[in-house]
Chain A
Amino acid sequence: AQKVTQAQTEISVVEKEDVTLDCVYETRDTTYYLFWYKQPPSGELVFLIRRNSFDEQNEISGRYSWNFQKSTSSFNFTITASQVVDSAVYFCALSEGYDSWGKLQFGAGTQVVVTP
């Protein structure tokens, strides 16, 4: 069963618009880690954020912000004032349990297209 669901396949926005990417996860472990990665056309994965299950604090980093809600098992990602360089595929990922550190289960990804 899919452990990480990214329901949005593709989102198209015009530059300067905000875009929110949804991520819903499923786990029975109390200790787990959530990640967001960006994958530009070059293919390389760019790390954006990591959050452990005990830290529900939301985070802001420049134009990026994340909303972690354990009650709804969601870890959503917002890009504020989008730019053309934000065009990429964004993956949400889950690492379950202490012993499975490093084994990431990726969502299907969301393609973000930002047009000028």
Chain B
Amino acid sequence: GAVVSQHPSRVICKSGTSVKIECRSLDFQATTMFWYRQFPKQSLMLMATSNEGSKATYEQGVEKDKFLINHASLTLSTLTVTSAHPEDSSFYICSAARGGHTGELFFGEGSRLTVL
């Protein structure tokens, strides 16, 4: 079964609203999680590194005020897309490493966001 789970798997929202996506490590603690974004028929791009108990580290070009990341516990990271617009419609995927450094990497099932 899945060891990293995302919720919701699909979400449709109106433009201007905020959407929260959860990423949970189910049977291990993850001090670091990663968030990726995938536009249709494109590759996955790393958005940010989520660090438990501290601020997330964002990749160049990713708006931190737009994509709020909170890693409040060792098993949960959340990505909030604030004031979503149609161009934010995408597939968002998280990952976490079990066993720490160079541990096995697990990806969540992904969350498909559609902004109307």
Contacts and interface: CB of A to CB of B under 8 A. Distances in A.
A40 B80 CA distance: 26
Given A91-B43, A98-B101, A102-B97, A44 B32 contact: no
B101 A44 contact: no
B84 to A, nearest CB: 19
B101 A101 contact: yes
A43 interface: yes
Which among A50, A91, A102, A107 has the greatest number of chain B C-beta atoms within 10 A?
A: A102
A107 B102 CA distance: 20
B91 A43 contact: yes
B44 interface: yes
Contacts of A91: 43-44
Interface of B: 32, 34, 36, 42-46, 49, 91, 93, 95-97, 101-103, 105-107, 109-110, 112
Question: A-B pairs with the 7 shortest C-beta distances?
Answer: A45-B107, A106-B44, A106-B43, A43-B110, A102-B97, A44-B109, A108-B43
Given A103-B34, A104-B44, A106-B44, 7 more contacts: A43-B93, A45-B44, A45-B110, A47-B107, A98-B101, A102-B32, A102-B49
